A and B are shown apart, each in its own frame.
Chain A
Amino acid sequence: MNIRLHRTFTVLLLLIGSSLVMADATLTIGEPWIREAPPTARVMAGYLTMINAGDTPVTVTSISSPDFEGAEIHRTVIEEGVARMLPVSQLEIPANSPLKLEPGGLHLMLFDPQRPLPEGETVTLIIHRSNGSKVTATAPVIRKTGEDHSHHHH
């Protein structure tokens, strides 16, 4: 019993610790991660899920990071086989819905890291809402060189 409780607690702690620091009642961040850059890359990509638990849409105007020179929200679009990256000025998250930034779609472009960021490091992401409030998330840097299964379901 004790062990089970302990385990549940540990899992909870891990979930909380790995995914979010909350400062906003309606907007929470799940599964943030930064793709470890292959050697030579100056630009890194970040991914996360933003969950709007409120009954009204939430607008995110930007996402910043003190660990990088700059950050922009981009969308990868494929038109006639050509991949293009389009800057996105803001994101609207519908009421009671999640919005996913994931490989091959919406993503965060992070320019020029302030320090080397190999796997195991963490990055701070600040999500800015149109109402002036902010949500901060801690994203682990993850080395991913196999297929990402999360972007299968479309």
Chain B
Amino acid sequence: MLEQQLLNALTLGSVYALFALGFTLVFGVLAVINLSHGAVFMAGSYAALVLVTRFDAPLWLALLGAALFSGVIGLLVDVLVLKPLRARNAPHLIPMIATIGVGIMLTSSAQGLFGAEIRRFPEEILPAADFIIGDIHVRALELAIVAIAFLLMAVLFTVLKRSQLGRALRAIAESPKAACLLGINVEALFHVTSFAAAALGGVAGVLIGLDFNAITPQMGQPILHKGIAVIILGGMGDIRGALIGGLFLGFAEVISKAYLSSQMGDAVAFGLLFLILLVRPSGLFGRVLERKA
């Protein structure tokens, strides 16, 4: 049974990591805690649902469409909300409060358009193949989720580490002012980051929607809280930390649900998070850096 749990944990953890990567990327580059990231995640899964049910799109196209749709939302949030606040030099908590408002707007729009009830992907669209390896029951869907999540993360890591764009982003993360003086178009890269982060969030939304085959307007809330937990675990703005933190939380959650009560698992996670913040605000894996965000 443990192997089965580990597979579940890997699936969940890789989606958490994907979600948290976008979240932490925005914090690292824009220095904003974007609390609409959960709603963007939810929007992605509804976009895929609409593409599949209304337009009979295949799953891969739905995934792509969801990424695009969520990405555009992220871009719009940056252009319409965050940019004016940057221009005004608003205190750092103000953008965060604004993104709370954006999240409420998205969630309530979804509720108005689709109702509060649970929506599901049609069963026939899901990859049906199952394997039995030893004692473990492996769904092809789970393998696909893990593969997609890791593929996207690998792409992101490569871009950040190897490309000119990645170097520019890391320069901005150190100091937007210095980056600007070096001739980097900081505003444009803020837009790119917002788009990419939201697109990753949207894909994560589709993957979770597929895994549980349940989509609701409220589905962004719990994952937002988990995303917060992950980036605090991994160190805020730390890309590698988000990956490790996401997998860690996936495992912690599945294991504690299997061996403790289902709800107390969450309490343990947040209790742990609370303690980490008190003892080591830079995160478990983060650099020892007193970052006064």
Partners in one complex: no
Query: Which chain B residues have a beta carbon within 8 Å of chain A's beta carbons?
Result: none
Query: Which chain A residues have a beta carbon within 8 Å of chain B's beta carbons?
Result: none
